Amino acid sequence: MSFSGFRYSKTLKDDIVMPLSIANFNVLNHEHLNRFTIFREDENTINNRYIVSAAILLEYITTYKIIAISLSEVTKEYYDVLVDMLFYYIQQNTVKYFYDGKSLMTIFFDSDSIKITMAKQVELDIDHKRDRLQIFNLGLKYKNKNYYLTYINIHGYGLPEIRKQYLHNTMFEICQLQNDEKIDNDFLCIGDFNSDLNQVNIAIEDVKNENCFLDLSLYKNYLPTSYHRYIVDQKGKFNQKPEEERYIKLDHLLYTKNFKIEQFNIFPNNFAEYEHPYFI
């Protein structure tokens, strides 16, 4: 599994700095694995992998005090496993979670210093020509004061023939939501974009040229976050990619000017040293 974590600070209007830790994780849908790779998982293997990965995920969340995490390729099976493991947080009323029933799941946790007082999901028009999105306007209580920001979970479509247009449409829609004051001026967008740094940067610049996102930044770290050993051709044949092209960065973070990145981590630390993510 590859788990990307960011530690941020947000400068507030009264010059208070609020520390925020957020993360992203692609579950690896077993149906995608069985269909688009040479690997195969039976029901027991699927269940065991989901149990192990969910347990590791919650360990990271606890250790690094994650308050928000974007999940993608979440199956009903993984959702059931994860919600069972969230039982303690649910009982303590310190977690809010949202699942779209298809791929995206976003989870918010109270920390020792920050309480999520509101997580209101933004209603989006149904549009099959943009990437998958979950958008939330958040209320946070920190040092007895209330603050607000928007958090966006994104899962991009990786098909080469549509990726560029879908990514552009997605960035433009987020811009329109901001212009229409449906989301906060301060926002974070994190997830599996299924596009590399250059492709995301081009999409942002194109939208900026349309007078949007004048202060939007893309975190430009080149550490790989994704592993793809094979590529499938149009005839359905699996071809091995060159070793130097197997580890790539497809998970990204967009942020506005009031945020400052303090730290970026990929877990496990030896992610690019052995075969991932098909076994743990």
pLDDT tens digits along 38-48: 677 888 888 88
The dihedral of CA 146, 110, 213, 153: what is its sign?
negative
Neighbouring residues of 50: CB distance < 8 A, sequence distance ≥ 6: 27, 75, 77, 78, 81, 82
pLDDT tens digits for range 144-175: 999 999 999 999 987 778 889 999 999 999 99
Strand order in the sheet with 145-155: 114-121, 132-142, 145-155, 187-192, 251-255, 217-218
Mean pLDDT for the chain overall: 85
Max avg pLDDT among 24-38, 168-182, 237-251: 168-182
The rounded distance, in Å, linking the Cα atoms of 69 and 96 is 11
CA–CA separation, 17 vs 23, rounded Å? 19
pLDDT at 2 over 60: no
Q: E strands of 84-194, at which residues?
A: 95-99, 105-109, 114-121, 132-142, 145-155, 187-192
Rounded mean pLDDT, 105-117: 95
On whether the pTM is more than 0.85, the answer is: yes
β-strand partners of 261 = 8
Beta partners for 109?
Answer: 95
Mean pLDDT of 223-250: 75
79-105, pLDDT tens digit by residue? 999 999 999 999 999 999 999 998 999
Q: Does 132 score more than 50 pLDDT? A: yes
Average pLDDT over residues 209-226: 83
Q: What is the pLDDT of residues 268-278, one digit of tens each?
A: 666 555 454 43
